[in-house]
Amino acid sequence: MASFDMVSKVDLQTLDNAINVVSKEITNRFDFKGSHVVIDLNKKDLKLNIEADSDMKIQQIIDVLISRSMKQGLAAEVYDFSKEAYVSGKVTKKEVLVRNGIKQEDAKKIVKLIKDSGLKVQVAIMDDIIRVTGKKIDDLQDVIQLSKTWNIGIALQFVNMKS
């Protein structure tokens, strides 16, 4: 039986590199000269704290963050921008969560999408990993191709392929 695992993991070193590149680029930009800008990654909680003078500058930082992260090999879905920016004194702050792992409700959605596809594979949820097993490796490759068309809001990686 052939199998592979679907995961949603973030490499902390790659994430840290992307954030360092963003910090350097923002400090060198002309429109940010003399502005209060803080981009801080909390590696323990996987939270990114962004501070700037205005909401518009926060949006510019987020745009740079997404483009530089994609150049580092991180998908844009890694970041959770659902929390709104808030004003604290003279600065605007935004907390961005970094998604690491597949949540239970997302795993159930993925399992349902695979089962609805009609492919002859078995799917099992194991904590934050989804294991897909099938008799033919072609069926597994079909699942991978199908999963790239889904718009579920999380970045998926396919690891541990065994035939």
Q: Among candidates 31, 88, 105, which has minimal Cα distance to 63?
A: 31
**CATH 3.30.70.990 domain locations along the chain:** 12-98
**CATH 3.30.70.860 domain locations along the chain:** 2-8+101-162
Rounded distance, CA 88 to CA 46, Å? 22
CATH topology of domain 2-8+101-162: Alpha-Beta Plaits (3.30.70)
Helix (H, G, I), strand (E, B) or coil at 4: strand
pLDDT reported for residue 62? 93
| pLDDT tens across the length of the chain (163 residues) | 888 999 988 889 999 999 999 999 998 989 888 888 999 999 899 999 999 998 999 999 999 999 999 999 898 889 998 889 888 888 999 999 998 888 898 899 999 998 888 889 999 998 889 999 999 888 889 889 988 888 888 888 888 888 7
pLDDT reported for residue 34? 84
Class of 12-98 per CATH? alpha beta
Rounded to two decimals, what is the model's pTM?
0.82
pLDDT reported for residue 132? 92
pLDDT reported for residue 17? 93
Are 143 and 15 within 8 A, CB to CB? no
pLDDT reported for residue 66? 94
pLDDT reported for residue 52? 92
Are 17 and 72 within 8 A, CB to CB? yes
